[in-house]
A = this chain, B = another copy of it.
């Protein structure tokens, strides 16, 4: 075990995957010589050569489109979209092509590929560096969607994603690249290297897709969340001394609904929490499933806390972000309901 940041963990996952399998090839905007604007691929070009890790033109469509062709030709592309906010030019290739290639060809052509992208807010990045578009992937049959919340998971889930035979969208909550942000932007951040969750097992240690992780155990309510919001939830639970299950989904598709249902049946109350805009966010799907499976155990309606239904503002970052105060207020209401 070694302490490292999420960035280092991601870099290590690349490094291990590339060393184990010649077919793993890494590319994207600024990922080659420079090593990525968040440095997640730093050193790979030097170590594996420009044929295995290279810079691309600024064309998300081209990045994903060529990756699909490569994946069909026995290469295992791991590509970076510089910010999730810039994935839209590639969306057609993801939805119409990557997601359906196996189906369309009855397995004759497949698309084992990972599309990594930094996601989420909290860095004063405004509308084009803050989005959380996970629901735009979860609605698409044929895509898997992963959101790690710790360095160990980032490493392990990325390894599993690279080894997965199907296309995986890998969303990296950029606000927690360096440490577990609990939503208290006015307090100093504790870096991963000094945090108990910063421990990362050595070597080739994939974490299977589709398994949620209970990050806190309690009796009064279940908080279902993922990514940065895991740490906001944990912070609120600790600070307010709540007795709550905090479920870190880790993978949205395939979804570990059984873990969620087991918890909610026990607690009887459920809060669903994410950064993305509320309407048609992934929280809607979670809520729909929870109310269906746990209806007779619920003591109050499932409550969603999410980003407002507006574009992501700049100055209003902390008004927009569903931080500790908003979360706590809603939990209190939920516990009283």
Contacts and interface: CB of A to CB of B under 8 A. Distances in A.
Contact of A88 (B91, B141, B292, B301): B91
Contacts of A51: none
Interface in A132-146: 135-136, 138-142
Interface in A275-290: 276-277, 279-285, 287-288
Given A136-B136, A136-B139, A139-B277, A292 B302 contact: yes
A295 B288 contact: no
Interface residues of A, number: 46
B128 A139 contact: no
Contacts of A310: 103, 141
Contacts of A308: 141
Contacts of A301: 291-293, 295
The 7 A-B residue pairs with the shortest CB-CB distance, nearest first, are A88-B92, A139-B280, A295-B301, A287-B288, A284-B284, A284-B285, A291-B291
Interface of A: 85, 88-89, 91-92, 95-96, 99-100, 103-104, 127-128, 135-136, 138-142, 253, 276-277, 279-285, 287-288, 291-293, 295, 298, 300-304, 308-311
